[in-house]
Amino acid sequence: MKKRITRRVFIASTILAGTALALLPQGAKTPIFIEPFKVIGIVQDTLFPKGLKAPSASEFGATAYLANVSTHSSFWADDLKFLAYGAELLMEYENGFLTMNVEDRDKVLRDFTNNSEKGESWVSLVLFYTIEALLGDPIYDGNRDKIGWKWLGHNEGKPQPQKPFGELM
């Protein structure tokens, strides 16, 4: 059966990373907790927006993919920590990021990568997993309806996996 990410697992993975974000915007009296994956999802749509023919990160399921694969034992724990940490850094860099329009978000990300080595590494990592989601097998919840393969005219290898992560039958 196809492995599906549940909301419970999704949240668990963010807790595993140990960095639910506590933000204290100007004027606020209590911290607001923002899940790193929410930040990452908006960054992914900024990095991979809807193009003339290209699907957007939300369309191909970039965040759902990441939430799914990051719960598997094969996912690099350091990457998970760094993904969450970077989301926190970005929010510290620009706490209005989540409510900005696409152009302004893009500008913030370019400044963020130009001004911070960690920022560049983080955006590179988010983009790396976004590309995995675009072109990995749909069994992992990305590349929905083979949309990434179809866009680039790529023919998938056969057989496709019946089970994720090379699990034995």
CA distance 115 to 137: 35
**Count of chain residues binding another protein (CB under 8 A):** 47
Closer residue to another protein in complex, CB, 27/167: 167
Interface with another protein, residue 124, by CB under 8 A = yes
> Of these, 81, 135, 144, 146, which contacts another protein (CB under 8 A)?
135
The CB-of-136 to another protein minimum distance in angstroms stands at: 4
Closer residue to another protein in complex, CB, 98/135: 135
Three-state secondary structure string covering the chain: CCCCCCHHHHHHHHHHCCCCEEECCCCCCCCEEECHHHHHHHHHHHHCCCCCCCCCHHHHCHHHHHHHHCCCCCCCHHHHHHHHHHHHHHHHHCCCHHHCCHHHHHHHHHHHHHHCHHHHHHHHHHHHHHHHHHHCCHHHCCCHHHHHHHHHCCCCCCCCCCCHHHCCC
Interface with another protein, residue 153, by CB under 8 A = yes
Interface with another protein, residue 106, by CB under 8 A = yes
Interface with another protein, residue 115, by CB under 8 A = no
The CB-of-147 to another protein minimum distance in angstroms stands at: 13
Tokens of 27: 């004027």
Interface pattern 27-56 for another protein (x via CB under 8 A): -------------------xxxx-x--x--
Interface with another protein, residue 154, by CB under 8 A = yes
Sign, CA dihedral 112-114-119-122, equals positive
Interface contacts to another protein, rule CB under 8 A: 46-49, 51, 54, 69, 72-77, 106, 109, 113, 120, 123-124, 127-128, 131-132, 134-137, 139-140, 148-149, 152-162, 164-166, 168-169
